[in-house]
Amino acid sequence: MSDVKVPETLDERLVQLRELEENARQMGGKDKIARRTAAGIMNARSRIDGLLDPGTFSENGLLGVSTVFDEDRERTPADGKVTGFGLVNDRMVGVVSNDFTVKGASSSTTNMKKIGHVKRTATDRGFPLIFLGESSGARMPDNMGSEGMGTMLGNDPHQYVRGRETPWVSAVLGQCFGSSAWYSCLADFTVMRKGAVLAVASPALASLAIGQKVEPENLGGWKLHSEETGLVDRVVDTDEEALAEIRKFLSYMPSHNGETPPVAEVPAGSDDAAANIPQIMPDSRKRGYDVRKIINCIVDQESFFEFKPRFGRTAVTGLARLDGGVVGVIANNPMAKAGALDVAGCEKVTRFLVMCDSFNIPIVMLVDTPGFVIGIEGEKKKAPGKIMNFMTALQMCTVPKLSVIMRKSYGQAYLNMGGGRNSDSVAVWPTAEVSFMDPQYATDVVTWGKGASDTEKQAIREDMERNSTYLGLAQIFAAQSVIAPQDTRKYLIEELKIQHLRRSGGISQHKLANWPTTF
């Protein structure tokens, strides 16, 4: 029981209330906060100030404390997790900001109730939820023993369910173990500050368990997660940059899945860059180019917001705007593995499709891929399963899907990238080439063991190449439009108007909303 004596009169009680609130706002104390500030790291409250529109934070549970052990009541201000509501660009959001200076923002009874309240309210009332992660995991000894477990963990059967009713965002801003790690993996967008760590358990605990020194960066640093696991979408240098990235991400998102994404003004000059596309697309079919240059020529100026740029680089995914409306762009990048889709590329695209389907964001696919990467490495990582996850996601995706075949589209990848009725409309550039297999390899396959001369092989290859042009698709109406590269922006803007989901007011069926968050 609390030993704080509550005075008799209302005036005295109000004075005492202000003192208690002021004490709670001190977090883990001036020294700890000063050390963070000196290291250039924001604290739980300054992060909220940096995230929300000024003066809009409505806090819940400021006087909440840990009540498991009486001695903790005085030393757990806000119980280590600052929670509440506020505005980002004039739109309501829920926020959970972990205060590492209070028992490492570890999870215990009171703060779990606080998170539950923000989460329920955001979901039921329809606005995004933001987790500012920096937590050490379940609080010890509160959660210890069978009674501890029976009381604390596992008493909210919806704690880690993701139904994608509203957008979730997570920032990895320090040591993120336990709930901060879990929510980062459940979020639609996760940004990580360099130096932070995202892992199941701390390096110290991992070292203890396996008897080997584990370095934090190896266990869960930004390189691991941006390049190998793909668990984070963007990496930044500072807390301030992370908060700016969250605000930027939310500017593309509807508040909930029953709304369409917000429309923005079209920056002046957005129609000009498309004329540069022919200079970017090389004359030689063997020459690589960075497809992001083409994306930037097509979408509204400065609007392309890329996801996972260092992970699965054979594919590029990102949100952008076309004539002010939000679209999800999926493109092959010939700069990486010739644009051949690998396991990481498939995982990245699948996750992106799920997000776009869940939040009513039309898909634009820009195709230049010789197929899927084949070989032992991919097979060990379940490549056939990943390709089918991607395929199923695409077929279940009920937002408008537009596919533009810029150059190569071969084999099964032709279907995965929207060919064969797997998109609502296919356009081809005159540079498009489509077949089951690149003629170079296909020639070897059909002449295998037949002793064909080089001249005969060349004739076969040239014949295959002639039969692989854009005209074949256009003549049998497997492509609905043939467009010049420089007309792609104009075409997409018009086609998006045609394919708009009028009957549901732009709302998709969200068939992927309950899919997992990692693949």
Per-position b or e across 197-212, b if 16+ CB within 10 A of its CB: bbbebbbeebeeeeee
Least separation in angstroms between residue 339's CB and other proteins is 8
Is residue 453 at the binding interface for other proteins, with CB under 8 A as the rule? no
Among residue numbers 322 through 361, which ones bind other proteins (CB under 8 A)? 334-338, 340
Which residue from 367, 366, 359 is spatially nearest to 397, judged by alpha carbons? 359
Q: Is 176 or 341 the residue whose CB approaches other proteins more closely?
A: 341
Least separation in angstroms between residue 411's CB and other proteins is 15
Torsion angle of C-alpha atoms 12, 13, 14, 15, degrees rounded to 10 = 50
Among 5, 30, 286, 503, binds other proteins (CB under 8 A): 286
Strand ranges for 13-138 from DSSP E: 58-60, 81-88, 91-98, 129-135
Helix (H) or strand (E) holding 354: helix 343-358
Which residue from 454, 303, 289 is spatially nearest to 364, judged by alpha carbons? 303
Is residue 284 at the binding interface for other proteins, with CB under 8 A as the rule? yes
Among residue numbers 289 through 308, which ones bind other proteins (CB under 8 A)? 289
Is residue 475 at the binding interface for other proteins, with CB under 8 A as the rule? no
Sole window of 45-53, 147-155, 283-291, 425-433 interacting with other proteins (rule: CB under 8 A): 283-291
Q: Is 43 or 435 the residue whose CB approaches other proteins more closely?
A: 435
Least separation in angstroms between residue 237's CB and other proteins is 18
**AA identity, residue 326:** V
**AA identity, residue 109:** T
Cβ(435)–Cβ(468) below 8 Å? yes
Among 116, 126, 288, 324, binds other proteins (CB under 8 A): 288
The DSSP output letter for 298 is H
Least separation in angstroms between residue 183's CB and other proteins is 31
Sole window of 54-62, 64-72, 285-293, 491-499 interacting with other proteins (rule: CB under 8 A): 285-293
Q: Residue 302 has which token pair?
A: 């400065």
Strand ranges for 293-423 from DSSP E: 305-307, 315-322, 325-332, 363-369, 401-410
Q: Binding pattern to other proteins, positions 127-166, x when CB under 8 A?
A: ----------------------------------------
Least separation in angstroms between residue 514's CB and other proteins is 36
Q: Binding pattern to other proteins, positions 401-440, x when CB under 8 A?
A: ---------------------------------------x
**What's the burial of 158, exposed, middle or buried (CB within 10 Å: 0-12/13-18/19+)?**
exposed
Q: Is 248 or 337 the residue whose CB approaches other proteins more closely?
A: 337
Q: Is 216 or 288 the residue whose CB approaches other proteins more closely?
A: 288
Least separation in angstroms between residue 133's CB and other proteins is 28
Torsion angle of C-alpha atoms 435, 436, 441, 442, degrees rounded to 10 = -90
Least separation in angstroms between residue 384's CB and other proteins is 20
Least separation in angstroms between residue 371's CB and other proteins is 11
3-state secondary structure of 405: strand
Please state, in angstroms and rounded to a whole number, the distance separating the CA atoms of residues 365 and 382: 24
Per-position b or e across 313-345, b if 16+ CB within 10 A of its CB: bbbbbbbbbbbebbbbbbbbbbbbbbbbbbbbb
Q: Is 256 or 408 the residue whose CB approaches other proteins more closely?
A: 408
* Binding-residue total with other proteins (CB under 8 A): 13
Q: Is 165 or 304 the residue whose CB approaches other proteins more closely?
A: 304
3-state secondary structure 165-209: CCCEEEEEEEEECCHHHHHHHHCCEEEEECCCEECCCCHHHHHHH
Q: Binding pattern to other proteins, positions 91-130, x when CB under 8 A?
A: ----------------------------------------
Least separation in angstroms between residue 313's CB and other proteins is 7
- Binding residues vs other proteins (CB under 8 A): 284, 286-289, 313, 334-338, 340, 440
